[in-house]
């Protein structure tokens, strides 16, 4: 309930999560749409050196030019994509993974980014009356419809996550896979994304590891993205 990102914008927030360092510690990587120096190691790189098979699909680290400083792959891992969307990218990754090799995969959805398809929420059956309008936004039909369009995008992300979890289950990997679901910054509305207000930095965070963590816990522990990186290393034993 109390998880916070390191910055209210994409590039620096993701860089902090990838490195386990605050944005003022990683130079250009701590700014928006810049580049990512190779001296700052990311958890997919560290896990890769430890024998993990690593990859990503969708939005990894970015926006920015990761090749400017000599990198050949995105700091979040080699990209698996193509036709068929994010689920197809994850399938390619699983098919390419050597048998029994531990793995690390980054799924970053472009859903929930503007622009939204206008009236997608209403056309999907959502009701204006059900939209939750934050106090800092005007409570008008146009705002409610925009929020429903945003919710429609979140629904699509949820479906992709559900499909990927089922794929892990089919491969017999779900019970012993640490799954972390969160966001890099707040929703793309005024006083949210790109702003250090509550709606810009207070993130959802769900973690599952059936073999190691009892399910059903609802915690108020204060958590920052840089904490997650150390947790990943601890879980992987590196």
In tens, the pLDDT along 49-97 reads 999 999 999 999 999 999 998 899 999 999 998 778 999 999 999 999 9
Range of the domain at 163: 2-236
pLDDT, tens digit, 9 for 90 and up, residues 19-49: 999 999 999 999 999 999 999 999 999 999 9
Q: What is the crossing angle of helices 85-96 and 141-170, to 10°?
A: 20
Residue the block writes with tokens 């990512």: 36
Q: How many domains does the structure of the chain reveal?
A: 1
Q: Residue 104, Cα to own-chain centre: how many angstroms?
A: 13
| CATH number for position 184 | 3.40.720.10
Element (H, E) at 189: none
- Are 130 and 79 in contact, with CB atoms under 8 Å apart? no
Beta strands in 61-122 (DSSP E): 103-108
The DSSP secondary-structure symbol of 15 reads H
Q: 196: helix, coil or strand?
A: coil
The DSSP secondary-structure symbol of 17 reads H
pLDDT, tens digit, 9 for 90 and up, residues 192-222: 999 999 999 999 999 999 999 999 999 999 9
Half-sphere exposure of 136 (CA within 13 A, CB side): 8
pTM, whole model, 2 decimals?
0.95
- Are 68 and 35 in contact, with CB atoms under 8 Å apart? yes
């Amino acid at each position: 309930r109390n998880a916070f990102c390191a910055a209210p914008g994409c590039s620096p927030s993701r860089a902090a999560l990838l490195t386990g360092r605050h944005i003022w510690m990683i130079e250009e990587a701590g700014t928006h749409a810049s580049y990512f120096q190779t001296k700052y190691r990311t958890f997919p790189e560290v896990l890769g050196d430890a024998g993990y098979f690593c990859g990503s699909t969708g939005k990894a680290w970015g926006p920015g030019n990761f090749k400017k400083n000599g990198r050949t792959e995105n700091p979040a891992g080699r990209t698996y994509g193509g036709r068929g969307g994010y689920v197809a990218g994850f399938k390619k990754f699983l098919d390419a993974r050597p048998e029994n090799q531990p793995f690390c995969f980054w799924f970053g959805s472009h859903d929930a980014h503007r622009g939204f398809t206008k009236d997608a929420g209403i056309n999907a059956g959502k009701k204006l009356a059900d939209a939750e309008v934050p106090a800092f936004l005007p409570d008008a039909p146009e705002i409610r419809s925009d929020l429903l369009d945003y919710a429609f995008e979140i629904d699509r992300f949820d479906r992709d996550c559900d499909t990927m979890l089922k794929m892990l289950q089919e491969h017999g990997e779900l019970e012993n896979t640490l799954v972390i679901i969160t966001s890099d910054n707040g929703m793309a509305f005024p006083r949210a994304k790109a702003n250090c207000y509550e709606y810009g930095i207070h993130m959802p965070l769900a973690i599952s590891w059936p073999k190691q963590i009892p399910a059903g816990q609802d915690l108020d522990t204060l958590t920052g993205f840089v904490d997650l990186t150390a947790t990943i290393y601890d879980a992987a034993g590196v």
